[in-house]
Amino acid sequence: MTNVYEELGVRTIINVAGISTRVGGALMPPEVVSAMSEAAKSSVSMTDLQAAASRFIATITGAEAGYVTSGASASLTLGAAAIIAGLDPGLMERLPNTTGMKNEFVVSREHRTGYDHAIRVAGGKLTEVGMNEQLSGAGVRRTEVWEFEAAINSNTVGILYTATPTSEPPLTSIIKMALKYKLPVLVDAAGQLPPVTNLTKFIELGADLVAFSGGKGLRGPQSSGILCGRRDYIASVALQNMDMDEYFDIWDPPEDFIPKSNIIGIPRHGIGRGFKISKEEIIGLITALKLFSSGKYRPNYQVQQRYLKLVAKRLTGLKLEPKLIIPKDDQFPLLHIILDTNALKMSGFEASRKLKLGAPGVFVSEKLLHENTLIIHPINLDDARTEILIEKLIDVLGDNER
Ligand SMILES: *Cc1c(COP(=O)(O)O)cnc(C)c1O
């Protein structure tokens, strides 16, 4: 029986790289898939739908409002556009041209990622500060709060902060500093779910806008995301993302979502119009958020541990050392496979390339390839895939001459 991919001549793969976009991200739970399919059967007003999603996201995150975006990267662009243009349709019209507007986001050098393109798309400009001298081996310190303060000037519009469990300076100290200068803090927390507690953590600390991916640990649609935070910014996001072909006089957006009384007119399609999100994706994201926030994914972490233990056991005797990494809270367990490259006569890079070949190819996480370590991320594993994974690993890393 051929599936939709094979029909098109595309092989399916075993994705143990994890939630990476290039290998399709996390597989959606059946509840999400069926909710999306049900959503496809009726029409709704997209304004009503996003307004309701906003209220739901607000309840779950503790933010004033929320928005379903087409990914965390889109959340960053829309968030930056909202911070730059506010509720002024005239400024919205001009983006990404920010001549004469405040457009600088101060960011620590060590918080820069390939996603800072998302800020520049909106017309934002990144002002880099600080160092990580621990990483460069040149010293003991990392970026410090005063370095942000020293870079703030009359063009500064906000602070960009990339959240990880080890981000420096601590978000609390950045927020405290930003309050002093009345600057909003936009937090990129794309990959920070799980743990569930992070849904509320950054908002609770006082972040103005927080971006999460929908297609990573949330297991929603791959091209979905969340932006949550201040109500006025979310209204600006809606105005710059939604289809705006409306007559002002008869336009009735829910007042708690878009305060019509505060805007002088309806902007044309905005900078975010290309980051369109469908009703099916909005329902899919909301369904995934419901499952995740109510702890429904928690038992999976136990099952995932079992799969990884089985893989480790079955690799016994091969020229490698399996190492199971069990996190403290409700996060993903991981299996590190440390290759004995001398005995194997194969580097981590070669091993990963060989695993990818054929049908099905196995795509491992390549974060530690430079240490000749393959990482197995279990989010997409089930009984059948675990068995195929084991066979392929033995085939490539085993002794049999090929
Ligand atoms: C994954 C990721 C993004 C992008 O998320 P998408 O939902 O794929 O758009 C942005 N920032 C960071 C730090 C990420 O890890």
Whether ligand 1 lies within 6 angstroms of the CB of 20 is answered as no
Q: Which of 115, 162, 166 is the pocket-test mutation for ligand 1 (most atoms within 8 Å of CB)?
A: 115
For residue 111 the two structure tokens come to: 């918080």
In which order are the strands placed within the sheet that holds 334-339? 320-325, 334-339, 373-376
Average pLDDT of the chain, as a whole number:
96
Q: How many helices (H) and strands (E) does the chain have?
A: 16, 12
| Contacting residues for 40 by C-beta, under 8 A, at least 6 apart | 279, 280
Q: How many CB atoms lie within 10 A of CB 342?
A: 8
Atom of ligand 1 nearest to the CA of 113: 13
pLDDT digits (tens, 9 = 90+) for 224-258: 999 999 999 999 999 999 999 999 999 999 999 99
Average pLDDT rounded to a whole number, residues 267-296: 97
Amino acid at 200: T
Atom of ligand 1 nearest to the CA of 212: 7
Whether ligand 1 lies within 6 angstroms of the CB of 162 is answered as yes
Q: Is 197 left (phi over 0), alpha (psi -120 to 50) or beta?
A: alpha
Give nearest CA residue, ligand 1 atom 5: 72
Contacts 24+ apart (CB under 8 A), 150-156: 151/106, 151/127, 152/106, 152/181, 152/183, 153/104, 154/102, 155/102, 155/103, 155/104, 155/125, 156/102, 156/104, 156/105, 156/106, 156/127, 156/181, 156/183
Instruction: Look at strands 225-229 and 65-69 and give their pairing.
Output: antiparallel
Atom of ligand 1 nearest to the CA of 224: 7
pLDDT digits (tens, 9 = 90+) for 202-217: 999 999 999 999 999 9
Identify the bridge partners of residue 94 per DSSP, sorted by sequence position. none
Cα 72 to ligand 1 centre (Å): 5
Cα 114 to ligand 1 centre (Å): 9
CA torsion through residues 5, 11, 15, 21, sign: negative
pLDDT digits (tens, 9 = 90+) for 135-145: 999 999 999 99
For residue 289 the two structure tokens come to: 């958020």
Atom of ligand 1 nearest to the CA of 164: 13
Whether the pLDDT of residue 27 is over 50: the answer is yes
Whether the pLDDT of residue 329 is over 80: the answer is no
Q: Which pLDDT score is estimated for 330?
A: 81
Average pLDDT rounded to a whole number, residues 112-117: 94
Q: Which of 326, 300, 289, 325 is nearest to 380 (CA)?
A: 300
DSSP for 8-39 reads TT---EEEES-S-GGGT-SPPPHHHHHHHHHH
Give nearest CA residue, ligand 1 atom 14: 190
For residue 398 the two structure tokens come to: 């085993």
Q: Which pLDDT score is estimated for 1?
A: 64
- Chain centre distance of CA 138: 32
Cα 56 to ligand 1 centre (Å): 22
Q: Which of 76, 167, 213, 224 is the pocket-test mutation for ligand 1 (most atoms within 8 Å of CB)?
A: 213
Average pLDDT rounded to a whole number, residues 260-279: 95
Amino acid at 141: R
Average pLDDT rounded to a whole number, residues 77-93: 97
Spell out the domains of the chain, with CATH numbers in brackets: 4-22+297-397 (3.90.1150.180), 43-293 (3.40.640.10)
Whether ligand 1 lies within 6 angstroms of the CB of 24 is answered as no
For residue 277 the two structure tokens come to: 């999100």
DSSP for 164-178 reads -TT-SS-HHHHHHHH
CB-count exposure of residue 219 (10 Å: 0-12, 13-18, 19+): buried
CA dist., res. 385 & res. 398, Å (int): 19
Q: Which pLDDT score is estimated for 399?
A: 74
Q: Which pLDDT score is estimated for 400?
A: 56
**Strands in 43-155 per DSSP E:** 65-69, 104-108, 125-129
Q: Which pLDDT score is estimated for 331?
A: 86
Whether the pLDDT of residue 402 is over 60: the answer is no
Cα 397 to ligand 1 centre (Å): 32
Instruction: Look at strands 334-339 and 320-325 and give their pairing.
Output: antiparallel
Whether ligand 1 lies within 6 angstroms of the CB of 322 is answered as no
Average pLDDT rounded to a whole number, residues 16-35: 95
| Contacting residues for 113 by C-beta, under 8 A, at least 6 apart | 162, 188
Percent of the chain exceeding pLDDT 70 equals 99
Which of 153-157, 187-191, 331-335, 397-401 has the weakest average pLDDT?
397-401
H-assigned helices in 294-381:
298-314, 341-344, 348-356
Whether the pLDDT of residue 318 is over 90: the answer is yes
pLDDT digits (tens, 9 = 90+) for 161-176: 999 999 999 999 999 9
